[in-house]
Structures are given as structure tokens and as C-alpha cells.
A and B are shown apart, each in its own frame.
Chain A
Amino acid sequence: MKRVQFSHSPIPYLFIAPQIIIICIFFLWPAAQAIYQSFLLEDAFGLSSQFVWFKNYKDTILTDAWLQSAGFTLVFSFLVTFLSLALAMLLAVKANEVIQGARTYKTMLMWAYAIAPPVAGLMGNLMFNPLIGDLYYFLNAMGWDFNHKLDSFDAGFVVVLIAVWKQVSVNFIFFLSGLQGIPKSVIEAATIDCKSNLRRFWTMTFPLLAPTTFFLVVINITYAFFETFGIIDTTTGGAPGGSTSTLVYKVFTDGFRGNDLGGSSAQSVVLMLMVLALTVIQFRFIERKVHY
């Protein structure tokens, strides 16, 4: 009987062990720490701390500043995800049809991918600088009284523009490979059946790209929530009036600028729950409509 138990080889566990260890060290352990910390009032140096139940949550969640930040995060994430996906899809479909110089087109569209978000932010900063920025002058010359230092809509415009620009190339790569995965025979059959390019796109290409699109939606929402941090930090820093501060950026400023560990942890726990809920919704309700 004992032999039967040992027949279950431990080798598979060994293979996944590195991944499990990484998850434990870099996700589970810090997450547990954040939850624990969110119930404490502790001075920055860790010399004294007291257990206060939900005081940190009460003090920091649902305050005006938090609600403003949450509202901006939702609008920002929606815009960044939608615009960067839509643009990337358009570019991919068009680039896929190009025959002359196709490689050049594709390379040009891809290479923004190699730019780190903070660098993209710094470039945007230069372009929108009120004293020397070309885009700043251009927008004002077009008759838009543009001032992202003062106007929260304009500041939002800047961060969305940079975040989208940075992300389009990633999405483009995935869409392009998705398009190339559509069998030639299907495309030819569709071309015989239907003359309209647009109609063929919506009835054939778009549904066949659905798995890619779904994957990218998940990735892009995560990007908008978390990775745009670098862009916001280097462009607006949350200004004006905290109107471009995403929830992650607020966690950072409260925790790492203001040294309020408890309040910052409480916010990060709430953020974690929000993203968890969002992911569950995506997989339960949207993935069902995707045909692989």
C-alpha cells in the first residue's frame, strides 16, 4: 500500500516550486503584511504601534481625496484601455494589409514598446512644458486654451495621451500576431461572401480576435491601474489639485512620501480587493462570450 503513495512522483512539485516560492515571497507575504499593517497605527520608525481595528480604513477610504482618486482611476483606466486597444487594433489591421515595406511599418509601430513608462513620462513632460514644449504651443495655437498645470481636464489629457501612446505598441504586437493566426482559407471564403471591408471586419476578424482582445483587456486594465505610476510621477505628480492621482499613486504618496504606513496599507488592501473583484468579473462574465 505504501508503494502506491510513493508512486506519486514529487518531481512536478519540484518544478513548480520556484514559481510558488516567488508568489509566496513577492505576493502572499507582502499582502499579508499590508493587511496586518492596515490595522495598526505605527510611527514611521516602528518604535511604537497600537492595534486600532478599522481606524485606518475609516480615516483614509471614502474621504474626498480618496473618492476623487478612485473616480479618476476608473475613468483613466477605461480611457487608456479602450483607446489603446482601439488604436492598436486599427493599426494592426491596416499594417497587416500593407505589402510594400510591411516590415518597416511594423517595426516603427512596435518600438515604443521598448520605452519604460517613466521615460515616456519625461518625454511627455518636455513636449508639454509651458516654456519650451512643442505640443503645448501647438495645442494653444489650435485655439485650445491648454494649461495642464492649472486645468485638471488638460492634465488628464496629458497622462491619458502618454499612457495610450506607450501601450499601443504592446497591443499592436499582440493584435498583429492574432491577425496572422487567422487561417487564409477563412479570409478567402469571407472575401468571396462579402465585399465590404468594414462588414468583414466586424463579422469575421473581430470575433476571431476575441481571445486576444480579452487577454489584452485584462493586461491593459492592470497596466492602467499599476504601471502608469511612472508616467504620472514624472508628468503631473497627481496635480493639479490631486486630480490626476490614481489610487496606486495615492498609496505611494501617503506611504512613501508622507510615511503614514497604516493609512497607506489600508488603501492598498482596498485597491487589492477592487482589482480582485474586477478580475473575477472579467473572467466570469466577459470570458464566457469569448470563443476560443
Chain B
Amino acid sequence: MLKRTLTAIGAFSCLATISVANAATEVQWWHAMGGRLGEVVDEIAVKYNASQSEYKLVPTYKGGYEDTMTAGIAAFRAKQQPHILQIFDAGAATIINAKGATVAVADLMAEHGAGFNKEDYLAGVRNFYADSDGKMIGMPFNSSTPLLYYNKEAFKKAGIANPPKTWEEFEAIAPKLKEAGYIALAQSHSPWIFTENFHSRHNLQMATANNGYDSTDVKIMYNNPELKMHWGKVKEWLDKGWYGYYGRAWGDNQDAFIQQKTAMWLGSSGSFGGLTKSAEFEFGGSFLPYWKSIVDEPKGTFIGGAALFAMSGHDDEEYKGVADFMKFLTSPEMQYFWHKETGYVPITNAAYDLAKNDGYYKTTPDAEIGILQLNQPGGDWTKGYRLGYYVQIREVLYKHYDDIFAGKSSVDDAFAKIEEESNDLLERFNATYN
């Protein structure tokens, strides 16, 4: 009896699997896009599934960036990995250096008939998730770059015409904003804006071994006079009441701008949509300021955000689906849709042209600033970085920046510590991943 039941169950489950396989091959996509962004992701899936019948894309929200990465890793260890996993910038080294965890999207798309040409992608986007030869491993998905937002009413009140292009200009207008009753500036992500992109903007090297792209045997180069000068200034601004620090949380600093405590805010090009909804004043966007004393002509910044990685261990039929979806996702129409709905930059030149021809930037010129900044001339050190245990290194940065702000440690001491602790982490990473 028992045996018969078991056989019946077995036969039934076989049938069930077959019928699913006949219907459509499922492509699992784990992502970290919550709130409105998550809704747009779901809309993308609906659009994709309606566009064809061979594959069924199933997006699943897995929490924040770190949660999604941890969930993907745990699933991989249990051999239950999704086909597509969204990994954020700081986690790129972990997944790319784990040889055999992913399939490079460049290869995947070329092999499965989706076609791939690197030149199709925007210059600032192409390299961040690529290996040292420039082959794209991850497909940039939600790509953003740091921008300056300013409150136009506050600027009018203080009698200032234009947002500052350089930090020197910032220092000239900050007292006027203070007089008008504003803290001049806040920003939401000091490792990303005031450290990583600081180096790109000023074309400074971040780490040895080609910013870490060439090897995991790498040393951090944050203990440099330019960055120390900048942080000395930031602390000075804080003490003078020109700079507001509302903690590490992204939203707390953005809220200070929305509630008009601060006149300027450094956030992401992807923040544009959210600000439009919540700010009850006229605001504008501008490029990330730079120090005239360091460079005459600033370089472009690189992208932040996250990329989609194809996890290894699936069969060809499923990879075909992944490649097909990537092709769909990078089509000009979808990129333009994503760009308009979220404020993230489109990643291909074709999508950018489509947005331009559609007149999108005539009606909303601020939406273009991020792309223009990414497309500014690149230098030797503007393609990004590939550093292991970078999530912890960001923690190290936060820790010592907090200490600088609190006056607990001098800028020199803080950066000596940053160098030492970061290098310990990089050494551990090198020992682990080799």
C-alpha cells in the first residue's frame, strides 16, 4: 500500500515537473529594489512575460543590498541559487573573485544568441563590473552617480545665482547661506561620494594594482594628501555650521534637505524622482563639485548602484532565458522606461539617444545631469575599483569619519588607521580568495 502511494506520488510529481517545463522555463531574479523601485521591477517582469511565451521571469525582493547578497550566497551554498542575482557595487569584488560562482554576462549573451557589444554601453557604465581585460561580468542595472541638489529658494534668499561648481566656490557661498538661516550642505554617503568618487572626480588612484582590477593582492591608497585635505575641510565646515551631519542613514540626510534645514544635498542621480515627489520647494541639480586646487578640469564620476549577475550551475535552456531577458532589459525602450520611472541612468547609448530624441530632457533637464557627468572625460582612475571586503572597508571609513566629526581623532590619525585597517582586510581577502 505504502509502496503504491509512493509510486503514485512520484509519478504525479514527475508529471507536474513536465507540465511546468512545457509551459515556460522559469527565470528567477532576486533583487534589492524595495518600495517604488520594486514596483517598477515588477512592471518590467510583466512586460517581459507578455512579450514572449518561452520564459517566465519571476522577480523576488530579498531586502536591502546586503540582505540580497547574503541570501544569494546562502542559496548558492545550498545549490538553490537563482538565475539572476542583483549585487551592489561594494560587493562586486566578492562575487567576481569567487571563481565559478557566476557566468560573465558578455559571454552569456554572445553564446546564447542575444548578441553583445561593449561599445553599446555608456562610457561611465562599461567598466565598473568588468574584469581587468574589460570583459563585462555583471550587467549594470540600477546605475546612478553622485550629484549636487540645491534649494533654489534658499539660493535666492541668500542672493546666490548659481550652484557651486567647485569646493572653493562652495566656501565662498556657504557663509551667505548660513546668514539666510540654512546649513549649507549635507550628503548621504561619505564612502561613496566623499571617498570613492572623490578619487574619480580628481583622477586620483584609489588602490594599487590598477584600483584592484588586476589582482586581489592590493593596498589601499586613501591615506593621500588630497583626501586628507578634503576631510580637514569637511570637519572645518561642520564646526563653522556650513555642513550638517545627520548620521549614516541615507534618508536622514536627505530629509534634512527636504525639510529645508540644509540648502544643498549630495545624493544620487537616482534620488531625482523621490525629491520631485517630496520636496515642497523648487530645487535643481548640478555636477558633483571638485577642488580647483587639485584639478583644473574635473573628470567624470563612476556609477554606483548595482548590477545583475548570472549565477552558475544552471542548464543551457535557462541561460538562454537569462540572455533573452538581458537583451530585453537593455533594449532602448526598457532602459528609457526604467530611466524615466526611477531616475537611474540609462546604460546604453541607444537608450540615451531615445530619451534625447523624445524630448525628455527638454521638459526635465535635471534628469540628464547624471548622464552628462558620467560622460565627462575619463582618466586613468575613473573606471571604478575592485576591492575585497569592501563592505567592511566602508564600515572602517564610516567609523573613522565619525571620529573626525566628533573631534575624537585628527584627520591624520584617522587616515593612518583607515589605511592600516583597510589593508588588513584586503590582506585577509587576498588570503581567502587565492
A240: Cβ under 8 A from any B Cβ: yes
A103: Cβ under 8 A from any B Cβ: no
Residues of B within 8 A of A152 (CB): 406, 408
Question: What mask results when residues 41 to 77 of chain A are scored 1 for a CB within 8 Å of chain B, else 0?
Answer: 1111111100010010001000111000000000000
Within 8 A of B (CB), among A103-155: 129-131, 149-152
A150 and B405 contact, CB distance less than 8 A: yes
B252 and A258 contact, CB distance less than 8 A: no
B76 and A259 contact, CB distance less than 8 A: no
B99 and A237 contact, CB distance less than 8 A: no
Residues of B within 8 A of A44 (CB): 73, 94, 98
Residues of B within 8 A of A239 (CB): 247-248, 398, 402
B70 and A130 contact, CB distance less than 8 A: no
A260 and B392 contact, CB distance less than 8 A: yes
A131 and B66 contact, CB distance less than 8 A: no
Residues of B within 8 A of A41 (CB): 428, 431-432
Residues of A within 8 A of B245 (CB): 149-150
B428 and A151 contact, CB distance less than 8 A: no
Question: What mask results when residues 218 to 258 of chain A are scored 1 for a CB within 8 Å of chain B, else 0?
Answer: 00000000000000000001011110000000000110111
A47 and B432 contact, CB distance less than 8 A: no
The complex places the Cα of A46 from the Cα of B75 at a distance, in Å, of 11
Q: How far is the CB of A56 from chain B (nearest CB, A)?
A: 9
A259 and B399 contact, CB distance less than 8 A: no
A263: Cβ under 8 A from any B Cβ: yes
B424: Cβ under 8 A from any A Cβ: yes
The complex places the Cα of A129 from the Cα of B255 at a distance, in Å, of 11
Residue from A65, A149, A150, A258 in contact with B391 in the complex, judged by beta carbons closer than 8 Å: A258
Residues of A within 8 A of B100 (CB): 45, 47
A156: Cβ under 8 A from any B Cβ: no
B98 and A47 contact, CB distance less than 8 A: yes
Q: How large is the interface on B (under 10, 10 to 19, 20 to 34, 35 or more residues)?
A: 35 or more
Residue of A nearest to B258 (CB): A131
The complex places the Cα of A253 from the Cα of B400 at a distance, in Å, of 17
Residues of B within 8 A of A151 (CB): 406
Summarize B's interface: helix, strand, loop or mixed: helix
Within 8 A of A (CB), among B151-199: none
The complex places the Cα of A210 from the Cα of B14 at a distance, in Å, of 64
The complex places the Cα of A43 from the Cα of B389 at a distance, in Å, of 11
B77: Cβ under 8 A from any A Cβ: yes
The complex places the Cα of A63 from the Cα of B423 at a distance, in Å, of 14
The complex places the Cα of A175 from the Cα of B111 at a distance, in Å, of 70
Q: How far is the CB of A141 from chain B (nearest CB, A)?
A: 17
B281: Cβ under 8 A from any A Cβ: no
A130-B408 in contact given A259-B391, A263-B428 (Cβ < 8 Å): no
Residues of B within 8 A of A42 (CB): 432
Residues of A within 8 A of B109 (CB): none
B69: Cβ under 8 A from any A Cβ: yes
B69 and A43 contact, CB distance less than 8 A: no
Residues of B within 8 A of A65 (CB): 399, 421
Within 8 A of A (CB), among B86-143: 91, 94-95, 97-101
Question: What mask results when residues 15 to 49 of chain A are scored 1 for a CB within 8 Å of chain B, else 0?
Answer: 00000000000000000000000000111111110
Question: What mask results when residues 391 to 434 of chain B are scored 1 for a CB within 8 Å of chain A, else 0?
Answer: 11001001110110110100000000100010010001001110
A260 and B389 contact, CB distance less than 8 A: yes
A45-B69 in contact given A131-B252, A260-B428 (Cβ < 8 Å): no
Q: How far is the CB of A284 from chain B (nearest CB, A)?
A: 38
A240 and B73 contact, CB distance less than 8 A: no
Residue from B70, B98, B391, B421 in contact with A43 in the complex, judged by beta carbons closer than 8 Å: B98
Residue from B73, B246, B395, B406 in contact with A253 in the complex, judged by beta carbons closer than 8 Å: B395
A59 and B94 contact, CB distance less than 8 A: no
A241 and B402 contact, CB distance less than 8 A: yes
Residue from B73, B246, B391, B406 in contact with A45 in the complex, judged by beta carbons closer than 8 Å: B73
Q: How far is the CB of B215 from chain A (nearest CB, A)?
A: 16
A241-B432 in contact given A47-B99, A256-B70 (Cβ < 8 Å): no
Q: For A131, A256, A258, which residue has the most chain B Cβ atoms within 10 angstroms?
A: A258
Residue of B nearest to A255 (CB): B70
Q: How far is the CB of A128 from chain B (nearest CB, A)?
A: 10
Residue of B nearest to A239 (CB): B248
A59-B424 in contact given A149-B245, A239-B248 (Cβ < 8 Å): yes
Q: How far is the CB of B390 from chain A (nearest CB, A)?
A: 9
Question: What mask results when residues 245 to 282 of chain A are scored 1 for a CB within 8 Å of chain B, else 0?
Answer: 00000000110111110110000000000000000000
B147: Cβ under 8 A from any A Cβ: no
Q: Which 5 A-B pairs rank lowest in CB-CB distance, beginning with the nearest?
A: A149-B247, A241-B402, A240-B402, A45-B98, A258-B392
List the interface of chain A (C-beta within 8 A of B).
41-48, 52, 55, 59, 63-65, 129-131, 149-152, 237, 239-242, 253-254, 256-260, 262-263
Q: Could you name 29 residue pairs across A and B whose Cβ atoms are closer than 8 Å?
A: A41-B432, A43-B97, A43-B98, A43-B433, A46-B77, A63-B424, A65-B399, A65-B421, A130-B247, A130-B256, A131-B252, A131-B259, A149-B248, A150-B245, A150-B406, A152-B406, A239-B247, A239-B402, A240-B405, A241-B398, A241-B402, A254-B392, A256-B66, A256-B70, A257-B392, A257-B395, A258-B391, A259-B91, A259-B391
List the interface of chain B (C-beta within 8 A of A).
66, 69-70, 73, 76-77, 91, 94-95, 97-101, 245-249, 252, 255-256, 259, 261, 389, 391-392, 395, 398-400, 402-403, 405-406, 408, 417, 421, 424, 428, 431-433
- Kindly list 8 other residue pairs between chains A and B, CB separation below 8 angstroms, not including A242-B395, A257-B66: A43-B432, A44-B94, A239-B402, A240-B406, A241-B399, A241-B408, A258-B389, A263-B428
